[in-house]
Copies of this chain bind each other. A is one copy, B any other.
Amino acid sequence: MRLLVINPNTTELMRQQIDEGARKYASPGTEIVTLCAASGPRSIEGEYDVALSAVGTLQTLVANEKDYDGFVVACGQDPGLYACREVTTKPVVGIGEASMYMACLLGHRFTSMTALWRMVPLMVTMVRRYGLTDRCASVRAAGVKVIDIAADRGRTVEAFIKEARVAIDKDGADVICLSGAAMVGMDKIMEKELGVPVTDGVVSAVKLVEAQVAYGLHTSKKNTFAFPERKDAVNVGEVLRSVYE
């Protein structure tokens, strides 16, 4: 099977890290291609970033839809995820949701970890949209910018471990979710230090899409994720406009 992993953060360094993480636990028959989104900010740390990267993610998905069996949106805020599901019948999984659903099978409550504290309200809203509020012990941040995490993961892993300990001891978390793409590859280091399972979003999403493709499942086209209605659009570029035809 062929999977397309989209990096909404648009930085080449993160694309490489995501690609490496995505391949690490992939099944033998899975072919993985990782692309930067066609447009968007270099990192995603707030509502404005999410809005811009959603469109870049959609461009890349629409342009490549025919050539893959499933898709991963590799940013912890799952930008454009629900819109992506409208434009394809193939499985699309976000790494934010994937890290959390995987955690739900390993413990009763998880803590979702992100880069900056300013992203917490956005993440809390996302957890609620997914219906997982009662399973979420807390959302915590390491207090490091996304780009700094990607650039020096050796040093920032300490910040994540420190905050994860608070999550386990004070918030009662059973599992730690690394929702962001910048944290890819930290999972097993943290697991060893913390003694609890750590679910990386990229790996979790790849495994979940593989499971869906292997099982022959498709995105529902009735009710919530029906195809977009036919209509015209202005100044959105040919790729995005083609969806409406």
Q: A27-B27, A223-B109 are in contact. Are A235 and B56 (CB under 8 A)?
A: yes
Stretch with Cβ within 8 A of B (4 or more), from A153-161, A178-186, A207-215 = A207-215
Contact of A130 among B107, B135, B172 (CB under 8 A): B135
Number of copies of this chain that the complex holds: 6
Beta-carbon contact of B233 and A42 below 8 Å: yes
Contact for A128 among B80, B120, B129, B147, CB less than 8 A: B129
A28 to chain B, nearest CB (A): 8
Task: Give residues 194-227 of A contacting B (CB, 8 Å).
Answer: 195-197, 199, 203-204, 207-208, 210-212, 214-226
- The count of residues in chain A whose C-beta lies closer than 8 Å to any C-beta of chain B is 95
Contact A212 B102 (CB under 8 A): yes
Question: Which of B50, B87, B93, B118 contacts A223 (CB under 8 A)?
Answer: B118
Task: Give residues in A with beta carbon < 8 Å to B.
Answer: 10, 25, 27, 38-43, 45-52, 54-56, 58, 80, 82-83, 85-87, 91, 93, 97, 101-102, 104-109, 116, 118, 120-122, 125, 128-135, 145, 147, 168, 172-175, 188, 195-197, 199, 203-204, 207-208, 210-212, 214-226, 228-229, 231-236, 240, 243-244
